[in-house]
Structure 1
Amino acid sequence: MADQTQSDSPKTQATDDLKTHINYPVPLSPPLPPISKDIELSRAMSASSKSSLFSLSRSDVLFEDQWLIVVNKPQGVYCESVLSSVPSLLDDSSDSDKPGSQGSLPELHLANRLDRDTSGVMVITKSHKVAAKLVKAFTNHWVRKTYIAFCIGPAPKWEKITIKSGHGRSKFGAWRVYAASDVGRTLPGGSVVRDMETLFEVLSVNGQGHLKELSEQERNEEKVIVIEEKSQLDSNVGKDEILVRAYPQSGRTHQIRLHCQYLGIPIKGDVKYEGVFEWKGRAYDGHELHAESLSLKHPVTDLPVEFRAPLPLWASQALQPLPH
């Protein structure tokens, strides 16, 4: 009997594993393209070299007071390198002439993080207490964020759209879009599918358009609820240059990049999520995504503040009308 029990045990385990596997939610966005591995490695090495030499200048500072310093992070530089270069910037400021300031550098923390190739608004706090308050503000979605993305794909038939879906890591460790109905379900590794929502508005198509004022996110736009349908990128459909503004309602990793991919308008240069690597004879060394603004209540004064980073050149050029 003992021998029989032992021989059945592997079968039972295999059956249980199969059942568990079958119950995992299936991602709706495709896996990482094979080309992305080598390109991402090359970009990471380039960014490491660039980051090791990086130093902030006063022209990078968007706002500063005794509790916060807000900077415009450049593309292709890691957040940690921006943070580590802040002390030298503070040493050079006029605050160092104040009594008691020497030798007492503040406790610096990243309040928000941006992907390596994403540029724009980055907030750094100067004390543990202020950092804790901002962590709570971001966690509770009290911070309003906008991004600008330059996408390549068929021109959207919508001007404004909200897309809702699930978000999580696949069994291969890559971030993927899941069905909205999968939110809360367990993924391989023990994590769960979380909700993800982004409002998009089109700013320009093929250079025709202008920079709209930041909207109050009125809820009369078309909505898309991601349920069971996989996204389809049709290589035979015409490719347009589309500049969009994104208002993320949640703060998931690679959220805007994933939702742009799902909508069939991946971000230019974002090879991880099916964006073009080469466009009009030029190879891109990063994706074109910019953290445009951050609005929140100041963690100490409680007054409303908005931080905006100037548009990068690629966004400004996309808003110029084509010559007749």
Structure 2
Amino acid sequence: MPLLSLLQAQQSFFLYRPKPWFKFPRTPFLCSSRMSSNSNSLQNYPTPLSPPLPAISKDIELARAMTASSKSSLFGLSRSDVLYEDEWLIAVNKPKGIYCDAVLASVPRFLSDSPESDRLCEENQSSALELHLANRLDRDTSGVMVITKSHKVASMLVKAFTNHTVQKTYVAFCIGSAPQSERITIKSGHGRSKFGAWRVYSAGDVGRKLPGGSVVRDMETTFEVLSINGQRSHKEPSECMKDEENCVVVEEKAVTDVDAKKDEILVRAFPRSGRTHQIRLHCQYLGFSIRGDVKYEGVYEWKGTIYDAHELHAESLSFQHPITGFPLMIQAPLPSWASQALQLLTN
């Protein structure tokens, strides 16, 4: 190519080269100002008052999760698991070590194989079931789980849970320092720390922002002590309501005496709110973590026995039926560890 043509081509290239669409900021110090602001906001997050996850929990929890995944993939709901059923609801006794979603996934197959379910739904054969979990339980928590059969019933029942009109009872076997009162109500904050773990926060921090954009929410649980080291006769919940109770409003970190005598404590819990890991967190804060609950300082080995799950059971749910309006109480049979502990009290 002649030199003149080459120069013209280069000139043409530079004349039509597109200009960059972005511009560099003229005031670079604004960037450092924002970083400083973010740094200050990090320092203003509320401080969790319960301990971080123990190092031992990481490997144990991973192993438990893998085992639960295998069991859940094979899980099938049986008639003996069903506690209550009508054309709007089905309540089941979830086994420990099974994920809630696996139970939900097994319901259609169970309903299709059940003559009784066919009878209940014969008027709605043309419409597909719209199954929803009305409540969720932790992987290793057993007990009452309610599944609704339509969007309408699901929204009504979820509203009942949100408004705290559903009464819940749990039973837990704990190891730690025995409380002085037979009845304790604890009020605190609840939220995720900057590391993503659920923690107890001060009751005064409710409403404050947390890392990740969430806020500290209120959390309240009442505990009834059923037995300590196999002694002390338990009362029915209605009788225990009449007793004086000790109210703990969380404002500072719990002080735990690691050298204190470890007692075996059977408790019944009445959670008012429904926060994730609520009972487990409150047991930890009060100094009697649930046996086997390694995530919240529960013992992994006790008296020569290794525990592959925490001992927490959703005992009952009481609520007004979302369609009929009648009061409904659904109760699950106690697991062996709870029934054996209560049996000792009657001997």
Deviation at 1:241, TM superposition (A): 0.6
Q: Which amino acid aligns with 1:193?
A: V
CA RMSD of aligned residues (A): 2.2
What's 2:308 paired with?
A: 285
Q: Which amino acid aligns with 2:181?
A: W
Larger radius of gyration: 2
Q: 2:63 aligns with which of 27, 30, 42?
A: 42
2:69 touches 2:98 (CA, 8 Å); kept in 1? yes
What's 2:247 paired with?
A: 223
What's 2:113 paired with?
A: 92
Distance 1:101 1:194, change over 3 A: closer
What do residues 92-127 of structure 1 show as CA deviations (whole Å, max 9, x unaligned)? 222466557767552211110000000000001111
Deviation at 1:158, TM superposition (A): 1.0
| Alpha-carbon distance between aligned partners in 2 of 1:57 and 1:128, rounded to the nearest angstrom | 24
1:178 touches 1:193 (CA, 8 Å); kept in 2? yes
Q: Which amino acid aligns with 1:223?
A: C
Q: Does 1:245 align with 2:268?
A: yes
| Alpha-carbon distance between aligned partners in 1 of 2:63 and 2:318, rounded to the nearest angstrom | 35
Distance 1:179 1:79, change over 3 A: same
Q: Which amino acid aligns with 1:75?
A: K
Structure 1 residue runs without a partner (length 5+): none
2:143 touches 2:332 (CA, 8 Å); kept in 1? yes
Distance 1:298 1:292, change over 3 A: same
What secondary structure, in the 3-state scheme, does the structure 1 residue paired with 2:289 have? coil
Q: Does 1:301 align with 2:318?
A: no
Q: How does 1:65-144 map to 2 (within 5 A)?
A: 65-95=86-116, 98=119, 105-144=128-167
Q: How does 1:172-251 map to 2 (within 5 A)?
A: 172-215=195-238, 217-218=241-242, 220-227=244-251, 229-251=252-274
Distance 1:84 1:238, change over 3 A: same
| Alpha-carbon distance between aligned partners in 2 of 1:203 and 1:62, rounded to the nearest angstrom | 25
TM-score when normalising by structure 2: 0.87
What do residues 1-53 of structure 1 show as CA deviations (whole Å, max 9, x unaligned)? x99942x4454234212310121100000111111111111000000001111
| Alpha-carbon distance between aligned partners in 2 of 1:95 and 1:107, rounded to the nearest angstrom | 18
Structure 2 residue runs without a partner (length 5+): 1-23
What secondary structure, in the 3-state scheme, does the structure 1 residue paired with 2:179 have? coil
1:207 touches 1:320 (CA, 8 Å); kept in 2? no
| Alpha-carbon distance between aligned partners in 2 of 1:3 and 1:130, rounded to the nearest angstrom | 55
Deviation at 1:128, TM superposition (A): 1.1
Q: Which amino acid aligns with 1:236?
A: D
| Alpha-carbon distance between aligned partners in 2 of 1:236 and 1:198, rounded to the nearest angstrom | 27
Q: Which amino acid aligns with 1:58?
A: R
Aligned residues: 321
